[in-house]
Amino acid sequence: MKYKVFVTREIPDEGIKLLKKASNVKLEVYEQDKKIPRGVLKRRVKGADIILSILTEQMDAEIMDAAGPQLKMIANYAVGFNNVDLEAAKLRGITVTNAPNEQISESVAEHTIALMFTLAKRIVETDKFTRAGKYKAWGPQLLLGTDLWGKTVGIVGTGRIGSGVVHRLHDGFNMNVLYHDIKRNPQLEKETGAKYRSMTQLLKQSDFVSLHVPLLPSTRHLISTKELKLMKKTAYLVNTARGPVIDEKALTRALMKGEIAGAGLDVYECEPLIDCDPSDNLELRTLPNVVLTPHTASATLETRQVMSRVAAQNILAFIRGKIPPNKVT
């Protein structure tokens, strides 16, 4: 049997090459390196046995039904899978996989720390200041930032990425580590001296708060007005997890009022929009104490190739009658 595999956007070639080598795979890739229009997606998935989906494409009941009853697998090109309706997939007997890998975790951990440094050292502000020709002379109080060395970092979620951030900051910058998770992490405590705290304690005591939790009903707006008021006025908030974990309106108000020192965001509540409601005059992009990146925490050549390979390996395992290594449901 030939399996028709439809890829919803061009991805790095390592996974594509693996799929092309398989004699029982008929591969079709959306030709443009941009989000596929919904109507086009519905047409192109028709007759597909397997969809290799990108995080930006909603794999819901409508798309599954548009593909047809022969659809048996959705391989998501991402660690997260909140773009896939798992219940709809279960009802239709569709296997869903994601693409986690240690390389991905390392890249996101590095990006998280890059955001912390950019905020603490005011890199974006100082770059703009210098490019604008405003630098006339060195001054003892010119654009003062803060150090990470010896400060306290609060990590919310200590999976691979959160733990990676902890090790780098503790080992490299002598930071005190507080963490909060649904369960204790004895190994992390032993290796780094990390101390478990309630969410309230962590927010009150941390100089930097970094979020590393999946998007679930329980984590939506995990950080909102109440939580932001608990943080130090000198504290920074970093999010490389999922946008809706933070209530962006509440965050923008807190930043405008100086309730926290700044925020570094790689993900957004209404992504790809940076502003959910343009009419409310709460615009993150206008604030100097915010660093914004376009969901690029895992955007390295090495990582994106690994993701491509992992997604393809999941597909190849499935068509060989094996359980995919990264089966979600």
- The per-residue DSSP string of 260-282 comes to SSEEEESS-TTTT-S-S-GGG--
- Which band of pLDDT confidence, cut at 50, 70 and 90, is reported for residue 23? very high
Measured between alpha carbons, how far apart are the two ends of the chain, in Å? 23
From the list 289, 302, 319, the residue with the least C-alpha distance to 72 is 319
Any idea which architecture 103-292 has in CATH? 3-Layer(aba) Sandwich (3.40)
Instruction: Specify the residue for token string 């405003």.
Output: 134
Quickly count: other Cβ atoms within 10 Å of residue 121's Cβ. 16
Evaluate if residue 92 carries a pLDDT over 90: yes
Percent of the chain with pLDDT over 70: 100
Q: Of 62, 189, 271, 283, which is the active-site residue?
A: 271
The number of angstroms, rounded, from the C-alpha of 111 to the middle of its chain's C-alpha atoms is: 10
Evaluate if residue 66 carries a pLDDT over 90: yes
Structure confidence at residue 224 (pLDDT):
98
- The answer to whether 295 is a known catalytic residue is yes
Evaluate if residue 266 carries a pLDDT over 90: yes
Structure confidence at residue 305 (pLDDT):
96
Q: Print burial letters for 307-319: b (CB count within 10 Å at least 16), e (below 16).
A: bbbbbbbbbbbbb
Structure confidence at residue 237 (pLDDT):
98
Structure confidence at residue 223 (pLDDT):
98
For the domain made up of 3-98+302-319, the CATH class stated in words is alpha beta
Residue spans of the domains in the chain: they are: 3-98+302-319, 103-292
Structure confidence at residue 281 (pLDDT):
82
Cβ-contact 181, 207 below 8 angstroms: no
pLDDT in tens, 145-187: 999 999 999 999 999 999 999 999 999 999 999 999 999 999 9
Evaluate if residue 259 carries a pLDDT over 90: yes
Q: Of 168, 220, 253, 295, which is the active-site residue?
A: 295
Structure confidence at residue 293 (pLDDT):
98
Q: What is the CA radius of gyration of the chain?
A: 22
pLDDT in tens, 201-217: 999 999 999 999 999 99
Token pair listed for 191: 């290796």
Token pair listed for 72: 């048996």
Token pair listed for 186: 């004895």
Q: Which residues contact 142 (CB under 8 A, 6 or more apart)?
A: none
Structure confidence at residue 119 (pLDDT):
98
Domains 3-98+302-319 and 103-292 share a fold: yes
Q: Of 212, 242, 304, 309, which is the active-site residue?
A: 242
Percent of the chain with pLDDT over 90: 92
Structure confidence at residue 101 (pLDDT):
87
